[in-house]
Structure 1
Amino acid sequence: MRIEVSPAVIVLNKTSVLSARKLAEELGGELHGPANRVAEADMRFDEAAKHVRDLFEAGRPIVAFMASGALIRILAPVLSDKLSEPPVVSLSEGGRSVVPLLGGHHGANDLAKRAAAILDGHAAVTTAGDLRFGVALDAPPEGYRLVNPQEARGVMAELVAGQSARLTGEAEWLAQSKIPFQDDAAVRLTVSDTIIEPESLELVYAPATLCIGVGCERGAETAEVIALIERQLADSNLSPDAVSGLYSMDLKADEVAIHAAARHFNAPARFFTATELEAEAGRLENPSETVFREVGCHGVAEGAALAAAGYEAELIAPKVKSQRATCAIARSPQPVLPAMRGWARGQLFVVGIGPGSAEWRSPEVSGMVGQSTDLVGYSLYLDLLGRLAEGKQRHDFDLGKEEARVRHAMELAGAGNTVSLVCSGDAGIYAMATLVFELLDTGEGLSDAARRIAVEVSPGISALQAAAARIGAPLGHDFCTISLSDLLTPWESIKRRVKAAGEADFVIAFYNPVSRRRRTQLAWARDELLKVRPADTPVVLATNLGRSGETVRVAPLAKLDVDDVDMLTVVIVGSSMSRTVKTGDGRSWVYTPRGYAAKPDSTLKPKAALS
């Protein structure tokens, strides 16, 4: 799925940091700055031009305290499709002047106005329609969709040139604009939820007044559901652009076909309980006792359509059936916005934030956290999110409460919230992702709603990756990870794995090497590996990676001291092939050759492996 991300507020020097920080906080964005000049930035970069272009190509809204000319020259090589470009706003030092440069009708104008209001500046909006008429005809407000956007430029040109317009249908945002209206004008603005073929100089707006009620059997084909809806819309001469959403019963919250059909019509999917649907029983044209006995209401498709459209609605297309689906359409007197009716399927993002620093957190994870209403995690991990966690409902848990933490996150999502379950490192490596799926598998103790949530897992930089990067390339050849904690795995099983990994000559990353009460396992692993590896095998000890107090050390296997290791340390033991090398700057590196020296064209000299 596409994740809507927050703006990147870019500042190039300390002069505008205070204004930029205020803007980032108010807009729910992140402060980006050069690593060598803005240490307090949430995200730091080395090369401004490359960073800005990368953000733009990733679709990230950009708010930059930068000269407009400079920003234009930076982005010029990557400009292509006007319809898909993200908003780009340029601000003067301190934010007194705010200029929307790109994506004016994709949010830049509104973003500039918000920024100007926050910083008490002036938004230099230059879009002709916005200035003269107070509306953007190619960017109607929520609840309306422009059916023929390709004609907007010509219509706007006529109006800017002095022509009047004829308004057919009702839309308060058009009626209250500064557009001059006349009954016989050549330019036409039409508002209708029916199918209309636009004429020359006519813009057609479809209000989101059509509520599609859907029922289907479990596992129904998406194509069947879409075809049924399209047929009923066509038979009733109703515009697909006027669909406000697809609505059904909560038992169908995880039905693939309904969500796929909703995406097909570019509309949300919303759900009602049996009680809410049964409240519409008196207005149904096709009530069913069979349906009532099965699910507790007399009609899903008609009931959901009417519940979504409201008490003043009318059922304009009664229930029709295909082999495995049903569909009905109700019309609301006013556009229906997504948040007005029903509830959305809950969303759980299981995210790995890496070692903790913003630079090592992926844009996808930042987008998921930014989109979330609730954050669940160990308190330290939530603290590591910094300002990204501001404005979110935090649900803090202590270490050792993993199952309670995951259940809480799933039940929050089951209530219709968008939740991020926050893990350090990678969410799928000794973290919470596996417990999420284990609970989904067993279903034990979960509510029905929690079992129907949408789940997405986003990767993070794991501790072993971070440690390897800091010290060179110890994971350059085959490796494995082993947790030395016997809280969840019997010690005898751990011992078998260490022996097998040692005999197979894997590089081994040890997680949970020690704890306050557990000090002997790492010493046992060291002694066991010394039976099959040289005494000088390099061992990497990496602590507090990406955070304050970071240390990365290398010691020979024979001299590995358990007292040098704590709970925040990952230990990487090299294979018999792993080597250390010193560079001219005095730094020591660890690497494990992959075997390129054996290639015919190589000038490398192969190292002898352990026999």
Structure 2
Amino acid sequence: MDASAILLVLNAAGLKTAKRIAKELPGAALHGLQGRVDGADHHFSDTLGHIRSLFEEGHPIIGVCASGILIRALGPALSNKREEPPVIAVSEDGASIVPLLGGHRGANDLARKLADMLEGHAAITTAGDTALGIALDVPPKGWVLANPQDAKPVMAELLSGASVRIEGEAGWLANASLKRDDGATLSIFITEAAETGSSKRLVYHPKTHVLGVGCARGCASDELIDLAEAHLEATGIAKGAIACVASIDLKADEAAMAALSAHLGVPFRVFTASELETQAPRLMNPSDVVFAEVGCHGVCEGAALAAVGNDGQLILAKQKTANATLAIASAPHPLDPDTIGRARGHLSVIGIGPGADDWRTPEATRLLSRAEDVVGYSLYLDIVAPHITGKIHHNFPLGAEEDRVRFALEEAGKGKNVALISSGDAGIYAMGALVYELLDRDTDNGGVSDAAKRVSITNAPGISALQACSARIGAPLGHDFCAISLSDLLTPWEAIEKRLHAAAEGDFVIAFYNPVSKRRRTQLAAAREILLQHRPADTPVVLGVNLGRPEETVRVTTLEALTVDEVDMLTTVLVGSSNSRARIRGDGNSFVYTPRGYAKRIDAPKHEEQQGDAA
């Protein structure tokens, strides 16, 4: 299970059982219904929506509640049983444990574990598990079913009492309740060779082989893929028997190697030159030229051998094209890629929005759930604490931004999956730009290591403070706008002042970030004076404080009435243009909007359109 498990509790009666489970299930977070469950790690109010959201984010769910609640919540979200996370219903007294979904993705095993823990009964209903003692459609880790589309008809016949012929050896079949007959029509074939299955024949491949690869920088993906395809066909090795693609860490960011891994559907793992050099005595084609260039006598053969270990052997020596090399090695047993070399390393730069769960994208939450390490300012980590339970936290103080980003990149460079957290959108006055700045710098000029430069990166956008503030009060950003940070910590005040004059003259709606701090008390006042030279004194100003958090406040004032004392670092300030308008509705609530000019276009031709999100 990639994501952390969530224990869901709807009332106090189930809390005792949930806490027993949490004590024995490291990393599980306890989510309780607001107003009914005290002492949970996280509280929610919309039960069905919260369950569905957790499921879509990939979290295994253990609901200490009636199974019907989970079924009603998840019915609309069900699509692919091979990808859905485990969902288990546990009775409030812990006596009954029912895996509802994800039986072959860990739910059945987890249900048995919970039953032992709670001294209850695991109600396993998956046909294969109950009648055959095995799930033929989902083999154990290290194995792959070559023809999964045929599993259903084969299992249907087996469940009806048919016999089966087993060809080859697989220890995981030993304890299965299968009626074996060497003359049976149905068969299970265990092989590393490329074989075709059918509705009468299931073919399983043990993942015992590794492709070691090398290539020139910028090698075309098709060249490497074609080389691999040609020699897999020539050797008769099934793609399903490939555990991973391996190479030297200098090639961790090589596009062709990533493309080959994706083409085969297996991980890409890398080794250091010194690790590959330990394989020098076993190489069939050692090269002093390669050693002089990268520090080891062979890349593709060395990587293949290092991956399969001392008990493995090279079965295809170095093969090459103009820009690529390939070797294949095999091990006597299925391989676990997670224990081979290291991954390329991945950094997710995540904007978590203003703070509310509802304002964080599902992508951001999925990336958080998959990360091994989480890096961020302590306040931001606290905001997402329910979603990072059981992960390694690296808290950095405010002001240590460069240290924070450098640390995240270097940890990813070790092969880890790291999440770097920012509030709002990470690309707007946040960590995103600094990530790329450090990647762009030379190592001697404060940049990061070569390993850190080779990590893959995902940017997950978040709702920015200016969007959140605008949404809370109406639509002040309905026409042209800009954002200006008033912090002169990294930008000279003279540059900020120049931008203020330009924005004022251009009559932009302006979002002010970092408007004041304990040290800076003059910039906002100076900005106000500049703006008053170009727009009316009654120009609406929106002050959004702690947006998306329980203590949120949003109010409207005017440019003339705006004072420094009513603003702090947690305030987003939106200053309207000369066209922005503030109104009060019949219920007493204010709204602010900036008209785009539709009233002037009543007589415009119907075929004309305005460009924008709402057009």
What TM-score does the superposition give when structure 2 sets the normalisation length? 0.90
* Closer/same/farther in 2, CA of residues 583 and 93 from structure 1, 3 Å limit: farther
Q: Name the % identity.
A: 55
Range that drifts further, 251-260 or 188-197: 188-197
Q: For structure 1, which segment, 381-390 or 141-150, has the greater mean C-alpha deviation from structure 2 after superposition?
A: 381-390
Instruction: Tell me how far apart the structure 2 counterparts of residues 70 and 355 of structure 1 sit (CA, whole Å).
Output: 30
Match of 1:462 in 2: 464
CA distance in 2, matches of 1:547, 1:327: 54
Contact 2:14 2:65 in 1 (8 A): no
Question: 2:7, 2:428 → 1: CA distance?
Answer: 32
CA–CA distance in structure 2, aligned partners of residues 414 and 57 of structure 1:
29
Equivalent residue runs for 1:371-520 within 5 Å: 371-444=370-443, 445-520=447-522
- Per-residue CA deviation, residues 250-293 of structure 1 (Å, 9 max, x unaligned), is 10001111111101111000001111111111111122222112
Q: Say which is worse superposed, 162-171 or 25-34, in terms of deviation.
A: 25-34
Counterpart of 1:528 in structure 2 is 530
Question: Residues 464-497 of structure 1, C-alpha deviation per residue, up to 9 Å, x if partnerless?
Answer: 1222222222212211110011111111110111
**Residues 212-270 of structure 1: CA deviation (Å, up to 9, x unaligned):** 00011111111111111111111001100110000000100011111111011110000
**Displacement, 1:314?**
1.5
> 2 CA distance for matches of 1:375 and 1:54?
21
Pairwise mapping of residues 64-79 of structure 1 onto structure 2 (< 5 A)?
Answer: 64-65=63-64, 67-69=66-68, 71-72=70-71, 75-76=74-75, 79=78
Match status 1:97 vs 2:92: no
Q: 1:88: how far off? A: 3.8
Query: Which residue is 1:126 aligned to?
Result: 125
Deviations 1:306-355 (A, max 9, x none): 11011111211111112211111001001111122111111111111222
| 1:44 Cα deviation from its structure 2 partner | 3.2
Task: Please tell me whether the aligned partners of residues 373 and 392 of structure 1 are also in contact (alpha carbons under 8 angstroms).
Answer: yes
Matched with 2:607 is: none
Name 1:301's counterpart in structure 2.
Answer: 300
Flag the 1:69–1:162 CA change in 2: closer, same or farther, 3 A. Answer: same
Contact 2:57 2:366 (C-alpha < 8 Å) held by counterparts: no
- Structure 1 unmatched ranges of 5 or more: 603-611
- Separation of aligned partners in 2, 1:162 and 1:155: 11
Q: Is the 8 A contact 2:48 2:72 kept in 1?
A: no
- Verify the 8 A CA contact 2:351 2:424 in the aligned structure 1: yes
Are the equivalent residues in 2 in contact too, given 1:42–1:358 (CA < 8 A)? no
Q: SS where residue 151 of structure 1 aligns? A: helix
Report SS of the residue matched to 1:558.
Answer: coil
1:181-196 alignment to 2 at 5 Å?
A: 181-196=180-195
Question: Contact (CA 8 Å) 1:272, 1:343: kept in 2 or not?
Answer: yes
The corresponding residue for 2:593 is 591
* Counterpart-to-counterpart distance in 2, 1:114 and 1:601: 70
Bigger shift: 377-386 or 220-229? Answer: 377-386
Instruction: Go from structure 1 to structure 2 and tell me whether the alpha carbon gap of 1:70 and 1:523 turns closer, same or farther (over 3 Å shift).
Output: closer
Query: What is the DSSP-based 3-state SS (H/G/I as helix, E as strand, rest coil) of the residue aligned with 1:225?
Result: helix
Deviation, structure 1 residue 202: 2.1
Task: Tell me the amino acid that sits aligned with residue 524 of structure 2.
Answer: L
Equivalent residue for 1:570? 572
**Matches for 1:106-505 after TM superposition, within 5 Å:** 106-117=105-116, 120-198=119-197, 201-444=200-443, 445-505=447-507
In the alignment, the residues of structure 2 paired with residue 321 and residue 565 of structure 1 have an alpha-carbon distance, to the nearest angstrom, of: 66
Q: Is the 8 A contact 1:374 1:395 kept in 2?
A: yes
Instruction: Indicate if the aligned counterparts of 1:5 and 1:366 stay in contact, CA closer than 8 A.
Output: no
CA distance in 1, matches of 2:20, 2:541: 45
Measured in 2, the distance between the counterparts of 1:23 and 1:428 equals 39
Distance change (3 Å), C-alpha of 1:382 and 1:573: same
Take 2:498 and 2:510, find their aligned partners in 1: how far apart are those partners?
14
Native 8 Å contact 1:30 1:43 kept in 2: no
Question: Given residue 192 of structure 2, which amino acid in structure 1 is its aligned partner?
Answer: D
Query: Which stretch shows the higher mean deviation, 540-549 or 423-432?
Result: 540-549
* Distance apart, 1:526 and its partner CA: 0.6
Q: Which has the higher mean CA deviation after the structures are superposed, 51-60 or 509-518?
A: 51-60
Post-superposition shift, 1:372? 1.6
Moved more, 52-61 or 161-170: 52-61
Change (3 A) 1:152 1:118: same
For residue 28 of structure 1, report the CA deviation from its aligned partner.
Answer: 4.4
Change (3 A) 1:464 1:95: farther
Distance 1:77 1:249 in 2: 45
Structure 1 residues 336 and 78: CA distance shift in structure 2, 3 A = closer
SS in 2 for 1:348: strand
Moved more, 54-63 or 122-131: 54-63
**How far, CA to CA, are the matches of 2:378 and 2:510 in structure 1?**
29
Q: Distance between the aligned counterparts of 2:289 and 2:383, measured in 1?
A: 54
Letter in 1 for 2:313: E
Amino acid at match of 1:282: P
User: C-alpha distance in 1, partners of 2:577/2:19?
Assistant: 47
**2:58, 2:366 within 8 Å by CA — same for their partners in 1?**
no
Report which stretch shifted further, 408-417 or 122-131: 122-131
Q: Paired residues, what number?
A: 599
Q: CA deviation at 1:536?
A: 1.1
Q: How does 1:26-41 map onto structure 2 within 5 Å?
A: 26=25, 28=27
Rounded to whole Å, the distance in 2 between the matches of 1:57 and 1:364 is: 10
Contact 2:408/2:420 (<8 A) preserved: yes
On the 8 A contact 2:227/2:326 being kept in 1, the answer is yes
Distance 1:121 1:347 in 2: 41
CA, structure 1 residues 86+387, in 2 after alignment: closer, same or farther (shift >3 Å)?
closer
Residue type of the partner of 1:206? H
1:16 maps to a residue whose letter is G
Provide closer, same or farther for how the CA distance between residues 57 and 519 of structure 1 changes in structure 2, counting only shifts above 3 A. Answer: closer
Instruction: Determine the structure 1 residue equivalent to 2:555.
Output: 553
Specify the SS of the correspondent of 2:214: strand
Are 1:278 and 1:297, in contact at CA under 8 Å, matched by a contact in 2?
yes
Q: Which residue of 2 aligns with 1:16?
A: 14
The one-letter code of the counterpart of 1:497 is: R
Distance between the aligned counterparts of 1:585 and 1:499, measured in 2? 38
SS in 1 for 2:587: coil
Give the match for residue 613 of structure 2.
none
How far apart, CA to CA, are the structure 1 residues paired with 2:412 and 2:317?
33
What SS class does the counterpart of residue 302 from structure 1 fall into? helix
Shift of 1:548: 4.4
Supply the AA of the counterpart residue of 2:575: V
Q: Write the distance in 2 (CA, Å) between the matches of 1:311 and 1:521.
A: 66
TM-score, scaled relative to structure 1: 0.91
Measure how far apart 1:79 and its partner are: 4.8
Task: Tell me by how many angstroms 1:6 deviates.
Answer: 4.3
Query: More displaced, 272-281 or 97-106?
Result: 97-106
Partner of 2:612: none
Q: Specify whether residues 114 and 539 from structure 1 end up closer, same or farther in structure 2 by C-alpha distance, changes over 3 A only.
A: farther
1:592, distance to aligned residue in structure 2 (A): 1.7
Cα distance in 2 for residues equivalent to 1:285 and 1:560 = 77
Q: What's the offset of the Cα at 1:128?
A: 2.0
Structure 2 counterpart of 1:465, one-letter code: Q
Identify if the C-alpha distance between structure 1 residues 419 and 570 changes in structure 2 by more than 3 Å, giving closer, same or farther: same
Change (3 A) 1:267 1:290: same
After TM superposition, the structure 1 stretch with the greater mean CA deviation from structure 2, 393-402 or 23-32, is 23-32
Counterpart-to-counterpart distance in 2, 1:156 and 1:412: 45
Letter in 1 for 2:353: G
Who is 1:44 aligned against?
44
Following TM superposition, by how much is the alpha carbon of 1:94 offset from its aligned partner in structure 2, in angstroms?
A: 4.9
**Aligned partners of 2:4 and 2:389 also within 8 Å:** no
Whole-angstrom CA distance in 1 between matches of 2:471 and 2:487: 25
SS across alignment from 2:158: helix
Relative to 1, partners in 2 of residues 1:66 and 1:393: Cα closer, same or farther, differing over 3 Å?
Answer: closer
Q: What secondary structure does 1:475 align onto?
A: coil
Tell me, in whole angstroms, the C-alpha distance in 2 between the residues paired with 1:432 and 1:440. 13
Distance (whole Å) between structure 2 residues aligned to residue 4 and residue 593 of structure 1: 47
The CA deviation at 1:64 is 4.0
User: C-alpha distance in 1, partners of 2:602/2:18?
Assistant: 56
